[in-house]
Amino acid sequence: MAKVQYTEDNIRSLDWKEHIRLRPGMYIGKLGDGSSSDDGIYILVKEVIDNSIDEFVMGHGKRIDVTVKDGKVTVRDYGRGIPLGKVIDCVSQINTGGKYDSKAFKKSVGLNGVGTKAVNALSSHFIVYSVREGKKKEARFVRGELVEDVPVTDTNEKNGTYVEFIPDEQIFKKYTFKIPYLQKMMWNYCYLNRRLVINLNGERFESKNGLKDLLEDNMDGESLYPVIHLEGEDIEVAFTHGKTYGEDYYSFVNGQHTTQGGTHQKAFRESVAKVIRDFYGKNYEASDIRQSIVAAISVKVVEPVFESQTKTKLGSTEIEPGGKSMRAFVNDFLKEKLDNYLHRHPEVAEVLEKKIKQSEKERKELSGIRKLARERAKKASLHNKKLRDCRVHFTDLKNDLREETTLFITEGDSASGSITKSRNVQTQAVFSLRGKPLNCYGLTKKVVYENEEFNLIQAALNIEDDMDNLRYNKIVIATDADVDGMHIRMLLLTFFLQFFPDLVKRNHVYILQTPLFRVRNKKKTIYCYSEEERKNAIAELGKNAEITRFKGLGEISPDEFKNFIGEDIRLEPVILSKDASIDKILSYFMGKNTPERQEFIINNLRIDGVIVDKTLTEEIEDKEETKSAEKQIKTSKAS
């Protein structure tokens, strides 16, 4: 083996923008194409808005205007504006910012002075200007390089800061902003900052009751009792119980949505069970207390420690350096506030205990069935090989590949065979369905254990007890693009929404897009995902080009399939908007059969990916407008 020389020539110093562009994952997490809510393009938006939020928190500027159109993002706040002499430094000099002054930004979202610098370095086009007391300072950048330093001018504009950027397609390839993800982001900002007004593409976002509004807006169906809303210094909590399965949490730190939870969420889960046990004087199981809970917790932490630059999971064990532990802080708060609330509202306490007892009864009834189901699942995975597992899992917290872990759920052996042969064995697993799944709408969770397919899917995902043990970050439904394939898709979505809605709410469920056509000549091959793309390909390659229609996934050879589940994979997320009702959606599509529903499914579910929005719920309530169902569910691409 040839020796590698290691000399002074091997030592290289990178400037700030080169380092960010070379290692973007260190600053914004994964890149992605916009199909996941934590993809890099959304982190860029968040980093800019976070600065505007900090201004609002400090009492400056009550409105933020955001536009996202054709890949370009603009953010205008009406705070104090960056000091004019530091505008360029604040967006181009690492470790430069106002948040190092703890008096000004004691509990800020970002403390490292990196956010807007990363946005600047990773944008092909970046403009910033600041307005202070009738003066305006503007600068323009390309990929972090200053290209125009505009002199200070007079202006009539209101004080504040404006940022405009376009994510660099050299870094973010074929990206698309999903408006529902941005809408959720804006709502979360408003829930955590009452009276703040955010305008996104002309749509107004505002909350008057904080986390109480969050739960009431996002509850699926009616809650069993009014939302319990508790507030204290540096902490706000809201929770109730619904009628769905599992536990649903929204957790925040200093205004940051910690989608993967952390020490504060863990402290809440432990403390709410302990306080309720103590109130009733009974040793109820924690799982019975928390079954069907929907909760939100927001804490303010001095110098928070997150497990990554994207701040999705809190690692701080103390509320401030050298202060009270997070567990003690949350527990003391609930011990006082929740206990007092339950004493003052005996009608709520009565309903809550009834719910706990009902969960306890169901758990005991299912215990024997669950034991048999686990044994069947082990045997099936060993002998039937329905699951072709991968080597890395989402539970491998210290593995950099955990975010890429994917389970493809396919129909039939031919489709699963093609994916299995062409997959990445490190991160991609395959589960093969046998025929069409059961329509489980309206059934109890008992069916999950008694039905072999559902039991094995649950076992493969490892979500029997809670979401913390989920083995794959992405669950991808991979079915044929025909009526039968669409039906299987709906049956699987019904299963997830009925029994594991958190999988959808936390953006873990996707639809795989595979090409409908292959158009090729001797020089070039083009894969087409729509009729329009097919026409364009024919126009490019000529009418004599060979055209192949893929009728099913099994018809695509493993060599070709590598193109569709590799770096260029096309996934459409299943997104449930805050105004949708799962029960009404499932009732319409999977309940009593109607000719209108049959016609709708055949005519409208041709494109991968489903967004269920407010219109669906509204129009289902108005039976006279059922035929306009094409307006109720839209593909994510249309958004």
| pLDDT tens sequence across 267-326 | 999 999 999 999 999 999 999 999 999 999 999 988 888 776 567 788 888 888 878 899
What is the pTM (predicted TM-score) of this model? 0.79
Beta bridge partners of 74: 67, 164
The tens digit of pLDDT for each residue in 108-143 reads 555 445 689 999 999 999 999 999 999 999 999 999
In angstroms, the CA 303 to CA 301 distance is 6
The tens digit of pLDDT for each residue in 423-457 reads 999 999 999 988 888 888 888 888 888 888 888 89
Domains and CATH numbers, the chain: 16-205 (3.30.565.10), 211-360 (3.30.230.10), 384-502+568-638 (3.40.50.670), 517-549 (no CATH)
Beta bridge partners of 131: 136, 160
In angstroms, the CA 549 to CA 99 distance is 57
pLDDT given for residue 8 in this prediction:
58
The tens digit of pLDDT for each residue in 554-579 reads 778 888 888 888 888 888 888 877 66
| 575 closest CA partner among 633, 504, 486 | 504
Count H helices and E strands in the chain, helices first.
21, 25
Highest average pLDDT, of 340-354, 389-403, 463-477, comes from: 340-354
Tokens of 368: 């024997």
How many beta carbons lie within 10 A of that of residue 525, not counting itself? 16
Distances (CA, A) of 405 to 227, 281, 393, 402: 36, 43, 6, 5
In angstroms, the CA 504 to CA 493 distance is 9
Distances (CA, A) of 484 to 136, 492, 597, 601: 60, 12, 15, 11
pLDDT bucket at 607, cuts 50 / 70 / 90: very low
The tens digit of pLDDT for each residue in 210-251 reads 999 999 998 877 899 999 999 999 999 999 999 888 888 999
